Structure 1
């Protein structure tokens, strides 16, 4: 099978998994948002950093090293498996002991038991991390999709049932645990691999030397990605955290569906051509522009129609999240650029530079947060936009070095897409505010979305955007 055909097949199944999971997750979240209070989601948001740190320590560099290494054998996989499992037990013990201190920090005693139960997912997922890495390495995304969707469906369904019966925040906790459990069980059944009783110090050293820098980078990234949640939870209320997580979740819906799906395929794909710099740059640019082409109009149109969308989907109680969402959409526009620039460092094996860049960006985040706190939550969110802009140019520095594709060249390439999407958003705004303002929310959403999409695609066709025709061939042609 050719590389292009293999990539296309992988994309189809990755999108199936992403869209299936996101669709189920969105429907479940929609129902739960109507049944639960913003404070319930806020409590889960407060402990997000704990789970994020655990996942970073478990899922960081060693599995990426397995995917990147062309010569993995049974010793490699089994060694990393046992390291993951042992690490998960140690990390869970530390989380268990730390739970009262975290609850005291937020002044929320209920968090002690929530943390201790919710964090069990760290042990559960450690059982399947290596199997998933093997499936990703061979680009078997069909199996991953057929595993993930039933797990999300059952776990989400149980969460809704528990919420309906009045379990409150615990419906979110048990839904997460059940989803992780079903997913791990299926991975063991369908992946076709289980570990041997082997642990090689040499193999561990090889993967650890590559992976620990990525793990530290991922750890820094996840802590600081959740730093805004920590600050909001400490200085404001659980409800504010709930509004923030709802806005972030809505922003991540298109980002996760599209960008994450393509990134999952693009990493092993780009690894396979990492030594051909001309081809690497061409494929890199094509993938990045394709993601930007799809994500940009969706985020801009959603931001324009945020008020009727939030009221229709989640009811009036969630309207305070609207301005949060509109600001966060700007950071969502930059996400594909961040992701692909950092991917270059990964595939080139420069985890040392990856860690260096992450440390610089985190210093910027601390400075921005300290300056923004006195001015309230919206200032913190605008601070995220500033951080994201600065981080893009920092990330792009080494992309120029390795494949001669600078940040300014990337901006130049995506600029026509941004302008076209902004124009489409402006037309949607005028239509919504001056024509549809007195209509039902669903009418405003549907007509505004159709109008914005039609304008965007029309301009893309008129100006012959390459990404439009690449997507056409990907979706409609075999």
Structure 2
């Protein structure tokens, strides 16, 4: 099978997985948002940073190193497996005994037990990390889909039932544990690989040398991705953490369905052509434009219809999250460009440059947060948008040199797409306000504006003969 065919097949199955999982997760979250209070979601949002830190430490970038290694053998996989497993146990006990200090930081004593139970997911997940890595390296995304969807359905049913009978925030905790458990069991059944009782120190050092820099980058990334929940939880309230987390989660829905689909496929794809810079640049450009072409109009339209969208999906009690969501939608448009530029550094084996950029960006985030916190939560969210824009120029620095594809060229390649998306947003805003559509029930209002925006966007893209539209047609028709 050719690289193009493999990539196309990978995109197809990954899209089905992401679409299915996101649809199920979204459906579950809709029900839970009606059963639980914003503050209960906020409690879990406060500890996401610690979960992320532990996950990064456990993996240490070793699975990423396995994917980019040309021919990893049984010793490679077994060594990474036992490191991840032992690391997960150590990290669990560290966080277990740190739980009272974390709870004291937020002045939320209930977090002690929540953290100690939730962190069991680390150990459970470590049993299946290598199996999942093998599937990704083989670009077997069909099996991943067949594992992910039943896990989500089963855990979703458990979470909703527990929320219905009054378990509150604990329904979210047990839902997470059941999801990881179901996924691990299925991966052990479906993936026939089993670890050998071997730990090759030499191979460990090879993977660790590549991975430790990614680990430091991941740690920085986790902390700063969650820095807003940390600050809001520490200086404001659990309810505001819940509103912010809900806004960010909804913004991530289209980003995860589209961008994450290709993220999963593009890393092994880029790795396969890492020595052909001309081809790598061409493929990178096509994928970047394609993802922005899909994400930009969705986020813009969602931002315009944010108020009826939140009221229809989550009820009136979640409306304070609307302004946060609208600003975050703008920041989310740039996510795929950030991700793919950093992927180029990884496939080139330059995790040192990856780390350097992450450190620079984190210093930038601290500076922006220090200023924006004075303007409350809304100021922090605006600061996040500003940081995202500035990060574009930072992320494109080294990858632009490798591919001879600098920030200005990348910006010019996506600018027509962004302009078309924003024009579409302005048109549906005018429709909503001047055609009395805003007087309709939320469902009809959303349906009319979403359909109208899609038709306007696709029609103009067709008339302007935009390349990504042609690429989508070819993927659908398998030409």
The structural deviation recorded for 1:71 is 2.0
- Secondary structure of the structure 1 residue equivalent to 2:93: helix
- Secondary structure of the structure 2 residue equivalent to 1:349: coil
The structural deviation recorded for 1:60 is 4.5
- Secondary structure of the structure 1 residue equivalent to 2:162: helix
Tell me, in whole angstroms, the C-alpha distance in 2 between the residues paired with 1:366 and 1:13.
39
Partner of 2:440: 439
Partner of 1:77: 77
Q: Is residue 2:262 matched to residue 1:262? A: yes
Q: Is residue 2:346 matched to residue 1:346? A: yes
Tell me, in whole angstroms, the C-alpha distance in 1 between the residues paired with 2:169 and 2:180.
18
Partner of 1:211: 211
TM-score normalised by structure 2 residue count: 0.99
The one-character-per-residue Cα deviations of 1:337-394 (angstroms, maximum 9, x if unpaired) are: 1000000000000000111110111011111111111211111001001111111100
The structural deviation recorded for 1:58 is 2.3
Partner of 2:271: 271
Q: Is residue 2:472 matched to residue 1:471? A: yes
Structure 2 unpaired stretches of 5+: none
Tell me, in whole angstroms, the C-alpha distance in 1 between the residues paired with 2:452 and 2:60.
42
- Secondary structure of the structure 2 residue equivalent to 1:454: helix
The structural deviation recorded for 1:154 is 0.4
Tell me, in whole angstroms, the C-alpha distance in 2 between the residues paired with 1:356 and 1:124.
32
Tell me, in whole angstroms, the C-alpha distance in 2 between the residues paired with 1:5 and 1:64.
23
Partner of 1:243: 243
The structural deviation recorded for 1:59 is 3.3
Partner of 1:454: 455
The one-character-per-residue Cα deviations of 1:111-148 (angstroms, maximum 9, x if unpaired) are: 00001111111111111111111111111111111001
Tell me, in whole angstroms, the C-alpha distance in 1 between the residues paired with 2:408 and 2:166.
53
Tell me, in whole angstroms, the C-alpha distance in 1 between the residues paired with 2:150 and 2:426.
40
Task: Check whether the contact 2:58–2:88 (CA below 8 A) recurs between aligned residues.
Answer: yes
Task: Check whether the contact 2:60–2:208 (CA below 8 A) recurs between aligned residues.
Answer: no
Aligned residues between the structures? 478
Q: Is residue 2:158 matched to residue 1:169? A: no
The structural deviation recorded for 1:267 is 0.5
Q: Is residue 2:132 matched to residue 1:159? A: no
Partner of 2:336: 336
Tell me, in whole angstroms, the C-alpha distance in 1 between the residues paired with 2:26 and 2:356.
36
Tell me, in whole angstroms, the C-alpha distance in 1 between the residues paired with 2:192 and 2:393.
42
Tell me, in whole angstroms, the C-alpha distance in 1 between the residues paired with 2:60 and 2:302.
32
Greater Cα offset, 54-63 or 384-393: 54-63
CA RMSD in angstroms comes to 0.7
Tell me, in whole angstroms, the C-alpha distance in 2 between the residues paired with 1:233 and 1:40.
12
The structural deviation recorded for 1:192 is 1.6
- Secondary structure of the structure 2 residue equivalent to 1:469: helix
Tell me, in whole angstroms, the C-alpha distance in 1 between the residues paired with 2:377 and 2:421.
27
Q: Is residue 2:360 matched to residue 1:360? A: yes
Residues 60, 326 of structure 1: CA spacing in aligned structure 2 closer, same or farther, 3 A cutoff? Answer: farther
Tell me, in whole angstroms, the C-alpha distance in 1 between the residues paired with 2:444 and 2:59.
43
Q: Is residue 2:4 matched to residue 1:14? A: no
- The ranges of structure 1 where at least 4 consecutive aligned residues each deviate by more than 2 angstroms after the TM superposition are none
- Secondary structure of the structure 2 residue equivalent to 1:197: coil
Partner of 1:120: 120
Partner of 1:409: 409
Partner of 2:91: 91
Tell me, in whole angstroms, the C-alpha distance in 2 between the residues paired with 1:404 and 1:188.
43
- Secondary structure of the structure 2 residue equivalent to 1:453: helix
Partner of 1:300: 300
- Secondary structure of the structure 1 residue equivalent to 2:334: helix
The structural deviation recorded for 1:157 is 1.1
The one-character-per-residue Cα deviations of 1:147-178 (angstroms, maximum 9, x if unpaired) are: 01100110011101111111100000000000
TM-score normalised by structure 1 residue count: 0.99
Task: Check whether the contact 2:299–2:329 (CA below 8 A) recurs between aligned residues.
Answer: yes
Tell me, in whole angstroms, the C-alpha distance in 2 between the residues paired with 1:167 and 1:256.
29
Tell me, in whole angstroms, the C-alpha distance in 1 between the residues paired with 2:9 and 2:478.
12
Q: Is residue 2:101 matched to residue 1:101? A: yes
